[in-house]
């Protein structure tokens, strides 16, 4: 079904061909019917094997026929001698080889080879490995063959992860652009090197691999495979999720001194993981159940629990036993308090190599970039390495101006992926903003955040602002509010002058009272549906949206949102 | 010096508009000449073909052109006694065919015409102790089958029949260094497997396990200068990747990471103005498989002359809505 070129011929030739093929098809159907007949009679014998052979050579993906052949083998093995069976198995391997010539990417054929090999008495695994090697000479990207090779390698004497690693290097030296080989290396290297090695950032294997990949990059800076692999080598770190913000608020009008405790996690976590967090009130562990703020079953950043009988000057701790917790003292007379844990690894992607290695990588790529400044991969690496080293390498700053120039160049040379580059830029800008904010001394008290006028095309790290009460996102290029569910404390959201057309998830902001959406793309009353589920929203601004042009605009909004008090600054 | 980039050139006078009626006619007439060679040779995927044809007609809003009774009758004839479905009568039960059967019957709202419990049991019995799924009793493991199981059971409202946590664990073992997925643990990343795994995680509500930035970037790099999408690095573009890659991007909220207009141009260029239908590349022979995925891709890209397609199930959105099925999607 793939890669069959349509060739133009005369009507006469077409008719001839059709008739010939129709004849062959009839023959095929007849023989198939005969086989199904024989199967119904349970005649699972050598004749069946003979009869189905040609059919499979014409049509190797006819999976039921392979099933029937397997049934024959299982039947014949009961009566036949070992050497007779071995003959049959070897014939089968020859048949399969012939079928591979017809379709080297047939799932059924490779699968049946594995079945035969594991049922033979004397499988020749070395020979099977050679078969794989030969096939990969012919097509080094045939993933069926690579999977088969991995299967065979496990059985073949003398083959280890190390010898396989050597084999992949052989393939790479033949042609650097061999994603399949690099992929296999990524698995083998992690297997070969124990867990403790992975943790060490100056591991020998990482250095050697970086050398190999840099070789590949220098040989052909346009080869995608090398770049994807290089990026992985630099950034393999997985940081376990932690609670990054703890917020407590006394429930209003409650005589039982009930309190909400809200934990914001650095990554979305499941109910199970969220409930590993323990709560300690005044030194005493309290039983509690954490629920997410959206009342659904997906992983979430925000988890909430309630505690009763809260004393004055209560000290609240919440966190994970092994990783640590956040602590708040709710002073006498106060109704709410918060504590923030902020560190660089919560904001920037952590590098999996040490600083010296990173600096060397940048130097090597800088040199190549000077020779090939129009190469998109090199330009991209300038961005992520520059950002990684910003403020980390002594006396090195990745200036905003440089970021803008590089992004503009990427949008120019690789316009198809403009969406990706704009989002990449937005993420870096937000990361820089967050680092700047959280390195200051007064960030704990800061409840208003201004991210306006930055041409942001997407939001990022919003879970770091779950304690914030006022957020300004105006004059950007947002199409939606992204995952805004972490805005637990937000009271005023200003998002004028964007391209917002969807308010999905806005109903999960329990404290949102005023929403500015002037000059956006809200076109339809249905776009406001998520606000229907918001119990807190009091004031809405929708001027200069297509929806505001409708004659029944104010009535429609009032009907949809009966609890709304103000629309566009006027009572509704 | 350097590796030449695999790609195709779009021929000068390629089609630029969508020929809805030609495609409808192509699908409706497909299989009418029972002695057609290709048709006979593809009996081993007949029920999949019926699903491709039916879904294409749904998206063209032309489902009424087929005889509902005949189709349901055919699907019923593919079910084995107390078991799953084969591709055609006499063809052995397989999880790929079983999914297609359930998809077809769901579209026709006729699921109760077959032995549902047996179908569920057939799917359930394919789950292995490590959470993976075999295709049939012969034991081939592939996360395509995981997707088939999860899609099939969720359409029937019976995800409780299997161990979902284990199923997810296995899917995650198939994740590679690039954030994408291969067919089994250790296999190279491939767009079709990405669709199966991302779809599986969407059905089970576990999208948070994805490295969305890495995966999204890998997917966006599938777009070649011709505008078409390939299945993995350094491969040629193919219309079916307009589905596998595009739907994955849609589920993770990154459709805007490829250039829409260029992909539309590519898909339209793959149409055949003589026979109707869509081929894998411009100038190649058409088939129902590529016809569906080309049209589904166009629907996802916002063609309002087509009905909306659900990116997880590759079925009409109104059918999924009718079932009240909720799948997780990122913004």
Closest CA to A115 of A105, A127, A107: A107
Please give the average pLDDT of every successive group of 10 residues along chain B, which has 331 residues: 76 94 96 86 97 98 96 98 96 98 98 97 98 97 98 98 98 97 98 98 97 97 97 96 95 98 98 96 96 98 97 98 95 79
Q: Do A224 and B233 lie within an 8 Å CB cutoff?
A: yes
CA distance B269 to chain A (A): 14
Residue A118 forms contact with B (CB below 8 Å): no
Q: Do A2 and B257 lie within an 8 Å CB cutoff?
A: no
Q: Do A1 and B37 lie within an 8 Å CB cutoff?
A: no
Q: Do B234 and A179 lie within an 8 Å CB cutoff?
A: yes
Output the pLDDT for position A175.
83
Residue A499 forms contact with B (CB below 8 Å): no
Q: Answer for the pair B41, A58: CB distance below 8 angstroms, yes or no.
A: yes
Closest CA to A384 of A231, A233, A232, A238: A231
Output the pLDDT for position B3.
58
Closest CA to A9 of B295, B141, B274: B274
Quick one: DSSP state of residue A263?
E
Contacts of A220 in chain B (CB under 8 A): 1-3
Q: Do A222 and B5 lie within an 8 Å CB cutoff?
A: yes
Question: pTM for this structure?
Answer: 0.96
* Interface subset of A 248-277, CB within 8 angstroms of B: 267-270
Q: Do B234 and A177 lie within an 8 Å CB cutoff?
A: yes
Q: Answer for the pair B251, B147: CB distance below 8 angstroms, yes or no.
A: no
Token pair listed for A24: 């062959």
- How far is A475 from A497, CA to CA, in rounded Å? 5
- How far is A44 from A65, CA to CA, in rounded Å? 12
- Smallest Cβ–Cβ distance between A29 and the set B40, B213, B289 belongs to B40
Taking every pair of Cα atoms in chain B, the longest distance, rounded to a whole number of angstroms, is 62
Output the pLDDT for position A522.
97
Output the pLDDT for position A309.
80
The residue of chain B nearest to residue A482, with distances taken between CA atoms, is B331
Pick among A224, A228, A377 to test the B interface (most B CBs inside 10 A): A228
Cα distances from B198 to residues B161, B207, B211, B250, B253, in angstroms, run 21, 7, 11, 10, 12
Contacts of B178 in chain A (CB under 8 A): 183, 228, 232
Give the three-class secondary structure for A7: coil
Contacts of B237 in chain A (CB under 8 A): none
The residue of chain B nearest to residue A220, with distances taken between CA atoms, is B2
Contacts of B173 in chain A (CB under 8 A): none
- Smallest Cβ–Cβ distance between A2 and the set B87, B94, B280 belongs to B280
Supply the ipTM of this predicted assembly: 0.96
Output the pLDDT for position A157.
95
Output the pLDDT for position B1.
42
The residue of chain B nearest to residue A38, with distances taken between CA atoms, is B90
pLDDT tens-place string over residues A79-112: 999 999 999 999 999 999 999 999 999 999 999 9
* Cα B32 to the center of its chain, rounded Å: 24
Low-confidence ranges of chain A (pLDDT < 50): none
CA distance B85 to chain A (A): 12
Output the pLDDT for position A252.
75
Cα distances from B319 to residues B147, B152, B325, in angstroms, run 19, 14, 9
Q: Answer for the pair B181, B201: CB distance below 8 angstroms, yes or no.
A: no
Contacts of B207 in chain A (CB under 8 A): 298
Contacts of A228 in chain B (CB under 8 A): 177-178, 218, 221, 233
Q: Scanning the structure block, which residue is given the tokens 């022979």?
A: B285
Q: Do A186 and B177 lie within an 8 Å CB cutoff?
A: yes
Q: Is B212 exposed, middle or buried (0-12, 13-18, 19+ CB in 10 A)?
A: middle
pLDDT tens-place string over residues B174-226: 999 999 999 999 999 999 999 999 999 999 999 999 999 999 999 999 999 99
CA distance B238 to chain A (A): 8
The residue of chain A nearest to residue B253, with distances taken between CA atoms, is A482
Contacts of A350 (CB under 8 A, 6+ apart): A235, A237, A239
- How far is B101 from B85, CA to CA, in rounded Å? 7
The residue of chain B nearest to residue A221, with distances taken between CA atoms, is B2
Output the pLDDT for position A162.
93
Taking every pair of Cα atoms in chain A, the longest distance, rounded to a whole number of angstroms, is 97
* Interface subset of A 119-148, CB within 8 angstroms of B: 141, 143, 146-147
Residue A24 forms contact with B (CB below 8 Å): yes
Q: Do B218 and A115 lie within an 8 Å CB cutoff?
A: no
Token pair listed for A499: 């391209």
The residue of chain A nearest to residue B41, with distances taken between CA atoms, is A59
Q: Do A176 and B3 lie within an 8 Å CB cutoff?
A: yes
- How far is A218 from A266, CA to CA, in rounded Å? 38
The residue of chain A nearest to residue B328, with distances taken between CA atoms, is A298
Cα distances from A502 to residues A251, A484, B178, in angstroms, run 32, 12, 31
What torsion do the CA atoms of A365, A369, A374, A380 make, to the nearest 10 degrees? 30
Contacts of B283 in chain A (CB under 8 A): 5-6
Output the pLDDT for position A18.
86
Q: From the CB of residue B196, how many other CB atoms can be counted at a distance below 10 Å?
A: 26
Closest CA to B106 of B317, B309, B324, B320: B320
pLDDT tens-place string over residues A133-190: 999 999 999 999 999 999 999 999 999 999 999 999 999 998 877 999 999 999 999 8
Contacts of B86 in chain A (CB under 8 A): 64
DSSP B218-241: HHHTTB-TTS-B-SSTT----TTH
Taking 3-state DSSP, the helix, strand and coil percentages for chain A, each rounded to the nearest 5, stand at 50, 15, 35
Separation of first and last alpha carbons in chain A: 62
Enumerate the H helices of chain B as residue ranges: 20-29, 37-41, 46-59, 68-77, 95-107, 116-124, 143-155, 164-173, 191-203, 212-220, 241-251, 260-269, 288-300, 317-323
- Average predicted confidence (pLDDT) for chain B: 96
Give the count of Cβ contacts less than 8 A between chain A and B: 172
* Interface subset of A 374-433, CB within 8 angstroms of B: 415-420, 423, 427
Output the pLDDT for position B47.
98
Contacts of B190 in chain A (CB under 8 A): 143
A259-269 vs A278-281, strand pairing mode: unpaired
Q: Do A180 and B188 lie within an 8 Å CB cutoff?
A: yes
CA distance A252 to chain B (A): 34
Q: Is B73 exposed, middle or buried (0-12, 13-18, 19+ CB in 10 A)?
A: exposed
CA distance B272 to chain A (A): 10
Percent of chain B surpassing pLDDT 90: 95
Contacts of B262 in chain A (CB under 8 A): 416
């Amino acid at each position: 079904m793939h890669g069959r070129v349509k060739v133009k011929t005369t009507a006469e030739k077409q008719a001839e061909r059709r008739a010939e093929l129709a004849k062959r098809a009839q023959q095929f159907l007849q023989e198939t019917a005969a086989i199904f007949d024989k199967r119904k009679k349970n005649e699972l014998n050598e004749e069946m094997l003979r009869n189905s052979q040609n059919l499979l050579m014409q049509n190797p993906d006819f999976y039921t026929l392979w099933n029937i052949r397997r049934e024959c083998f299982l039947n014949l093995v009961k009566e036949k001698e070992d050497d007779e069976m071995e003959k049959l198995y070897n014939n089968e391997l020859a048949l399969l080889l012939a079928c591979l010539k017809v379709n080297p990417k047939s799932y059924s054929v490779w699968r049946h080879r594995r079945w035969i090999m594991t049922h033979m008495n004397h499988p020749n695994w070395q020979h099977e490995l050679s078969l794989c090697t030969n096939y990969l000479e012919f097509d080094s990207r045939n993933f069926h063959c690579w999977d088969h090779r991995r299967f065979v390698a496990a059985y073949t004497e003398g083959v280890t992860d190390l010898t396989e690693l050597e084999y992949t290097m052989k393939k790479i030296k033949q042609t650097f652009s061999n994603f399949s080989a690099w992929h296999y290396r990524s698995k083998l290297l992690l297997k070969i090197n124990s867990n403790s090695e992975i943790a060490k950032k100056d591991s020998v294997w990482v250095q050697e691999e970086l050398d190999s990949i840099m070789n590949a990059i220098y040989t052909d800076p346009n080869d995608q495979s090398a770049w994807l692999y290089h990026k992985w080598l630099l950034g393999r770190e997985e940081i376990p999720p932690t609670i990054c913000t703890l917020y407590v608020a006394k429930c209003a009008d409650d005589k039982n001194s009930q309190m909400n405790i809200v934990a914001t996690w650095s990554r979305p976590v499941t109910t199970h993981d969220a409930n590993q967090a323990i709560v300690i009130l005044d030194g005493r562990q309290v039983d509690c159940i954490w629920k997410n703020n959206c009342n659904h079953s997906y992983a979430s950043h925000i988890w909430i629990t309630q505690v009763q009988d809260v004393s004055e000057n209560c000290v609240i701790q919440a966190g994970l036993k092994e990783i640590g917790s956040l602590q708040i003292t709710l002073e006498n007379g106060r109704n709410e308090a918060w504590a923030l844990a902020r560190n660089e690894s919560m904001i920037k992607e952590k590098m999996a190599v040490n600083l010296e290695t990173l600096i060397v990588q940048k130097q090597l790529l800088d040199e190549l970039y000077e020779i090939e400044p129009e190469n998109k991969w090199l330009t991209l690496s300038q961005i992520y390495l520059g950002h990684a080293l910003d403020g980390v390498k002594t006396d090195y700053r990745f200036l905003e101006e440089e970021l803008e120039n590089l992004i503009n160049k990427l949008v120019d040379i690789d316009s198809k992926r403009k969406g990706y580059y704009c989002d990449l830029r937005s993420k870096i800008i937000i990361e820089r903003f967050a680092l700047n904010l959280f390195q200051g001394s007064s960030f704990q008290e800061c409840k208003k955040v201004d991210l306006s006028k930055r041409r942001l095309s997407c939001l990022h790290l919003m879970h770091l602002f779950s304690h914030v009460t006022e957020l300004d996102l105006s004059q950007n290029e947002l199409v939606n509010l992204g995952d805004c569910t972490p805005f637990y404390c937000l009271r005023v959201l200003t998002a004028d002058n964007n391209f917002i057309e969807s308010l999905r998830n806005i109903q999960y902001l329990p404290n949102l009272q005023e929403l500015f959406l002037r000059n956006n793309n809200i076109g339809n009353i249905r776009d406001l549906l998520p606000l229907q589920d918001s119990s807190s929203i009091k004031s809405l601004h929708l001027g200069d949206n297509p929806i505001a042009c409708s004659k029944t605009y104010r009535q429609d909004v009032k009907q949809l949102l009966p609890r709304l008090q103000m629309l566009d600054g006027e009572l509704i | 010096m350097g590796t030449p980039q695999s790609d195709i050139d779009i021929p000068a006078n390629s089609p630029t508009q969508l020929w809805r009626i030609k495609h409808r006619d192509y699908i409706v007439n497909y299989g009418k000449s029972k002695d057609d060679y290709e048709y006979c040779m593809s009996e081993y995927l007949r029920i999949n073909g019926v699903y491709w044809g039916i879904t294409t007609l749904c998206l063209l809003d032309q489902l009424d052109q087929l005889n509902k009774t005949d189709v349901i009758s055919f699907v019923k004839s593919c079910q084995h006694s107390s078991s799953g479905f084969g591709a055609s009568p006499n063809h052995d039960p397989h999880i790929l065919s079983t999914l297609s059967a359930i998809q077809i019957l769901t579209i026709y709202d006729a699921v109760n015409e077959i032995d549902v419990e047996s179908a569920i049991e057939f799917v359930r019995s394919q789950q292995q102790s490590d959470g993976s799924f075999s295709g049939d009793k012969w034991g081939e493991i592939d996360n395509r089958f995981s997707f088939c199981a999860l899609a099939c059971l969720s359409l029937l409202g019976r995800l409780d029949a299997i161990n979902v946590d284990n199923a997810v664990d296995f899917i995650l073992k198939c994740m590679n260094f690039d954030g994408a997925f291969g067919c089994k643990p250790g296999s190279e990343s491939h767009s079709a497997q990405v669709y199966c795994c991302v779809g599986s995680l969407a059905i089970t509500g576990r999208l948070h396990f994805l490295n969305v930035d890495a995966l999204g970037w890998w997917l966006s790099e599938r777009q070649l200068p011709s505008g078409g999408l390939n299945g993995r690095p350094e491969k040629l573009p193919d219309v079916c990747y307009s589905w596998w890659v595009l739907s994955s991007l849609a589920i993770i909220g990154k459709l805007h990471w490829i250039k829409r207009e260029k992909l539309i141009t590519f898909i339209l260029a793959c149409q055949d103005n003589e026979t109707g239908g869509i081929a894998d590349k411009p100038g190649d022979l058409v088939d129902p498989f590529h016809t569906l995925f080309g049209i589904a891709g166009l629907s996802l890209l916002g063609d309002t002359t087509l009905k909306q397609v659900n990116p997880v199930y590759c079925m009409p959105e109104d059918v999924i809505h009718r079932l009240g099925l909720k799948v997780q999607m990122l913004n």
